[in-house]
Structure 1
Amino acid sequence: MLELMRKHAKNWLMKFLLGMIIVVFIFYFGTRTGKEKSETVAIVDGKEIALAEVQKEYSNLAEFYRRQYGGSLTDEMLKGLELKQNALDSLIAQAIIMQKAGELNLTATDDEVRNFIMAYPAFQRDGTFNEKIYQQMLRLNRMTPEEFEASQQRMLSAAKLEQLIQEAVKVSDQEVFDFFSFQNEQIKISYLMFKPADFKGAISPSRKDLETYLKEHGNEFRVPEQMQIKALFFPGRDFAGKADIPESDIVDYYERHRSEFAQKGGKAPSLKEVKPRIINELAKISGMAAAAEQAKKAHDTIYQEENFDSYAAQNNLKTVTTDFFTLNNIPQPFSKVSDFSKIVADLKKDEISKVLSDEEGYFFIKVGSRKSSYIPELKDIEQEVAKRYTEMEARNRCRKAADAALGRLKKGESLVRIAQENKLAPAESGFFKPGAAIPGLDANQQLSMALYQLSESNPFPDQTLEINNGFAIIQFKERSKIDTTDYEAKKENLKQLLLMMKRNEYFMTWLENTKAAMIKEGRLKIRKDIKDL
């Protein structure tokens, strides 16, 4: 059993996590109403899954990940999650589960749904269901009671089916002990690191090599579109001195901000003491308001008469003209303006923007000249092209050498001999738990998964591993004895965890097998490829 767990470590860990995520998506993100009509993407036993449903499910998944990871989730990362495929899979899974639950008469009754909702803590006050709270929470989540109750019926029906399928799953004492051993064992490995830097000295690219590289990787060197803009500024300070502040406004401001003038724990100063500060602040406010008014007036006139430069000259306004810049390098003082890059990108030549603002005042801009994006000629960037070509070629040669070394290891040659021929120093780790940090090697998912699968009978990973900006080959060395002192204290919790994992994997396997069978029987038809959605 333990050897089997090591061999399938990736499946044990990843299927469990993936299964839990899918269950969450099916139960809590499945909000199909059956009312959306659009192009059919799939048909499950005669029931259509519309494109609009897939798009809605995709939006739910994307929002889920954005809430989980916040600003650290980039568009590229989101793309790598294959959410469109997950959305379609989730909807198909929902349809299969509901179809099977119906066949077995496991559909949740209205009373079961009602009792479940009324017992839900989030809808209660003082331990009793509260209709007002229930309605408010549904409105916040943009759901009608009918939609929510239908989703809960699907969830409860799916739970009944899942429970029925999982009832046959059992866990033996030996499996629990093997699981404990799997979690607590420590191993020792030997490894060789191949560094791309060691291969750079032997690389001397020809002119043809560089030309080919530039042709194939031209976008790496592309100079983005550049533009030049003119701006008319209306700083609030230019209008602040013209403000006539009424005494009543000064008194009113003092009364509303009295506590802010006081020192911490002290008494608020008198109006006389802070009057200059109040006048200054009110002048700034008044100045900003006047600046906004003048900017709006100038904008409307220039928009109608298309006289940007002449209006500025007639009204003694200074026109600021920027140097050429790219949208990823916005010049001051525009860099702090929200969505400025998008505003500029959307403007046509000689078109003026809406009135914009920053902390200093108001302004609007006009796009002047533009320089189209282009790929420079080789003669102008030859040094940079040569550098990148050398880095790429060194990396390719490094990987090839590491792959060859791993192949020789698998044929029975010694790590020491291979190290000597490649002028490398073999390294050895101390005992560590697979998945934990290894001295001298950066942890990553590829390495962790490879380590879980190593054993006496399987001492090498399937492939070389990308680690520490290079390539490593590793070899299983030794396994430590397992300390079983706390086994009995942890046994019951481990048993429940293992049971949950096995049941979840069993259910997911059933779901995949059912899906495959329905496709074979023609009961499940996919009408559109995911890349076309």
Structure 2
Amino acid sequence: MLDLIRQKKQSIIIKVVFVVIVLSFIGTMFLVWGKGSDGSGSSMAYAAKVNRHKISLEEFQNAYQRMRNIYQQIYGQSLTPEIEKTLGLKKAALNSLIDTALILKEAKKMGITASKDEVSGAIAAMPMFQKDGVFSFDLYQQLLKSNRITAKEFEEAQQRELILKKTRQAIINKVAVSDQEALDLFRKENDRIELEYLSYGPADVMGEIRPTEAELKEFLQKNQDRFRTAEKAEISYVLIDPASQAARQSLTEDEIQTFYQKNIDRWQGKDGILPLADVRERVRAEALKQKAARQAFELAADTLFKNIKSGDLNLIAAKLNLKPQQTPLFSADASPPALAGETALIRKAFELKQGELGGPVETGRGIYIVKVRQRIPSQVRPLNEIKAQVEQSFKAAKAVDLARGKAEQAARQLAAKKPLSSQSTSSFGFSAKGDVPSIGNAPDLMEAAFRLTSASPAATAPFKVGDRWYAIRLKSRSEAPRAEFDRTKTAIKQGMLPVKQQEALTTWVKQLRGKAKIEINQALVAD
């Protein structure tokens, strides 16, 4: 233990703290630092490599679990795989560890350290180690021991945390908000503006497009996949209903008992697992159903294996006392009504060659054996057969380019202060939602509009809103009184500073990442 804390041992009273608080802190420690790596172990025994530093699997698991616990508390329930995937917890945890490794390395270059006195002071100030507001060394030892972490490990981790804080602080301390930045924000939030604009959409220019035969041929050649017909198949099949095998099956007492034990979670009652005697008939019925399905599958597989070389589905059907069914031609994404929802069977059908038998394929309906009677491959039909379709696609694509091009030309003309026949918005103030009168929801356009000045009144490029492009120019601006800005300038700067500091810190970390050699064990973060 640090010398300073040792000296306080006799004068501090022990207190009991909720272990969950300590676990939360310990989890945070591993999220932020981890124990590091000496680079030993197999080539895959790491979560990531940051230059020469390895982030261990243990560090990653601790960070991931801690982050998962935090979000679980937020959601108030267990996280489903879908929610975890949406949140990207594994990637977020690993990115946090990578950023930490980079910051610690940069801190060393910057000469930033944390002394023993600073570490001991930080630990002594932690509420979970205090009794009546005073640090308790005994409590400190007790809680570390109960969480299987040594004082040396904890103190080293706390030292790293202090270094991280100091380094981040050194970066944000360089940030300041200028008077001009504050004035720009004041104007954005208090001024009202009016815009003039020109807009163009594909429908406006569609009539101007008249493709030649050569252009259509070239378009078809470059975009064959747009006009390719779907691959089609015609199949015949037999379907074995597992229920047909149930009457031939029997169950021993051992089989019933084994099925009950293997599927114990199915027999949950309000007071716990129900005894076999209470659910015997249910267990027997489900076990018999499973056994019948297994027997049906084995029967189908055996019959198919013995007769597959014949290629004769009628022969196989006769041996199974079944009648073959047949479909018309269909594509993989438009199956016949009789096979609606049978995705496994459809997938198998398109894996087989024409004339080939396949299966067994098990679905919720039963066991299929299938034969492909006909296969029609995907193809691109000649232009003369699909000319109207190709021309429509060509014009739609060209209309987008033409509308954008006209908007870009209009933006240049507005910037050159040329008089144009334009439309105007009503007067409006800044809205974070980005709702611009007469134009619609356009956050980017809104931000750009309030940066326009009488000296630079026009945006240099158009903005896409929905399926239209808008070229804009400032028509008028009603400015808020400058005296009001002078009165509130200090408060505005104080409000802007945290945001600007965070942006500076984020940019700095991105720069560190850009200069580093980072190798990630992709198996850990794969969805």
TM range (shorter): 0.5 to 0.7
* 1:203 Cα deviation after fit: 2.6
Q: Secondary structure at the match of 1:189?
A: strand
Maintained 8 Å contact 2:232/2:332: yes
1:195 aligns with 2:195: no
> Counterpart of 2:301?
299
* 1:288 Cα deviation after fit: 7.1
Q: Secondary structure at the match of 1:418?
A: coil
Change beyond 3 A, Cα 1:497–1:290 = farther
Maintained 8 Å contact 1:176/1:495: yes
What whole-Å deviation, never above 9, does each CA across 1:216-263 have from its counterpart, x for those lacking one? 222221224334444432346656788999xxx9xx9xxx99x99xxx
Maintained 8 Å contact 2:32/2:97: no
* 1:49 Cα deviation after fit: 8.1
Change beyond 3 A, Cα 1:396–1:492 = same
**AA aligned opposite 1:202:** E
**AA aligned opposite 2:399:** A
* 1:418 Cα deviation after fit: 3.5
Maintained 8 Å contact 1:205/1:386: yes
Maintained 8 Å contact 2:297/2:360: no
1:376 aligns with 2:381: yes
> Counterpart of 1:323?
328
TM-score normalised by the chain length of structure 2: 0.60
Find the aligned partners of 1:299 and 1:293 in 2 and give their Cα distance: 10
Find the aligned partners of 2:176 and 2:216 in 1 and give their Cα distance: 62
* 1:47 Cα deviation after fit: 2.3
Identity of aligned residues (%): 24
Structure 2 gaps of 5+ residues are 1-27, 69-78, 129-139, 261-265, 271-280, 520-527
**AA aligned opposite 1:207:** E
Q: In structure 2, which of residues 200, 205, 212 is the aligned counterpart of residue 206 of structure 1?
A: 212
What whole-Å deviation, never above 9, does each CA across 1:281-317 have from its counterpart, x for those lacking one? 9989956753453133212431454267122222222
> Counterpart of 1:457?
455
Maintained 8 Å contact 1:31/1:148: no
1:102 aligns with 2:115: no
Q: In structure 1, which of residues 411, 420, 428 is the aligned counterpart of residue 416 of structure 2?
A: 411
Find the aligned partners of 1:156 and 1:369 in 2 and give their Cα distance: 72
> Counterpart of 1:428?
425
Find the aligned partners of 2:286 and 2:168 in 1 and give their Cα distance: 66
What whole-Å deviation, never above 9, does each CA across 1:456-515 have from its counterpart, x for those lacking one? 33322221222231222122233345599x999999996665222222233345456677
Change beyond 3 A, Cα 1:206–1:514 = closer
**AA aligned opposite 1:474:** I
Maintained 8 Å contact 2:32/2:100: no
Kindly report which structure 2 residues correspond to 1:168-179, keeping only aligned pairs within 5 A, or say none: 168-171=174-177, 179=185
Q: Using CA pairs under 8 Å that are at least 6 residues apart, name the structure with larger relative contact order, 1 or 2.
A: 1
Maintained 8 Å contact 1:232/1:312: yes
Kindly report which structure 2 residues correspond to 1:203-282, keeping only aligned pairs within 5 A, or say none: 203-235=209-241
Find the aligned partners of 2:302 and 2:115 in 1 and give their Cα distance: 63
* 1:159 Cα deviation after fit: 3.2
Maintained 8 Å contact 2:236/2:373: yes
* 1:391 Cα deviation after fit: 1.8
CA RMSD in angstroms comes to: 6.0
Change beyond 3 A, Cα 1:373–1:158 = farther
Find the aligned partners of 2:289 and 2:406 in 1 and give their Cα distance: 70
Change beyond 3 A, Cα 1:510–1:287 = closer
Change beyond 3 A, Cα 1:214–1:129 = farther
Q: Secondary structure at the match of 1:471?
A: strand
TM-score normalised by the chain length of structure 1: 0.59
Find the aligned partners of 1:373 and 1:402 in 2 and give their Cα distance: 40
Q: In structure 2, which of residues 435, 438, 454 is the aligned counterpart of residue 437 of structure 1?
A: 435
Find the aligned partners of 2:342 and 2:146 in 1 and give their Cα distance: 42
Change beyond 3 A, Cα 1:515–1:475 = same
Find the aligned partners of 1:348 and 1:152 in 2 and give their Cα distance: 65
Maintained 8 Å contact 1:354/1:364: yes
* 1:107 Cα deviation after fit: 7.0
Find the aligned partners of 1:108 and 1:447 in 2 and give their Cα distance: 51
* 1:382 Cα deviation after fit: 0.8
**AA aligned opposite 2:231:** E
Change beyond 3 A, Cα 1:289–1:512 = closer
Q: Secondary structure at the match of 1:352?
A: strand
Kindly report which structure 2 residues correspond to 1:112-131, keeping only aligned pairs within 5 A, or say none: none
Find the aligned partners of 1:301 and 1:107 in 2 and give their Cα distance: 76
Find the aligned partners of 2:517 and 2:127 in 1 and give their Cα distance: 39
Maintained 8 Å contact 1:240/1:288: no
Maintained 8 Å contact 1:108/1:156: no
Maintained 8 Å contact 1:429/1:439: yes
1:161 aligns with 2:161: no
Change beyond 3 A, Cα 1:241–1:487 = farther
Maintained 8 Å contact 1:237/1:288: no
What whole-Å deviation, never above 9, does each CA across 1:144-193 have from its counterpart, x for those lacking one? xx999999987664333112222343457886675455345443322222
Change beyond 3 A, Cα 1:150–1:214 = farther
Find the aligned partners of 2:466 and 2:200 in 1 and give their Cα distance: 10
Change beyond 3 A, Cα 1:225–1:240 = same
Find the aligned partners of 1:337 and 1:32 in 2 and give their Cα distance: 51
**AA aligned opposite 2:407:** A
Q: Secondary structure at the match of 1:302?
A: helix
Change beyond 3 A, Cα 1:316–1:98 = same
Change beyond 3 A, Cα 1:296–1:172 = same
Q: Secondary structure at the match of 2:421?
A: helix
> Counterpart of 2:292?
290
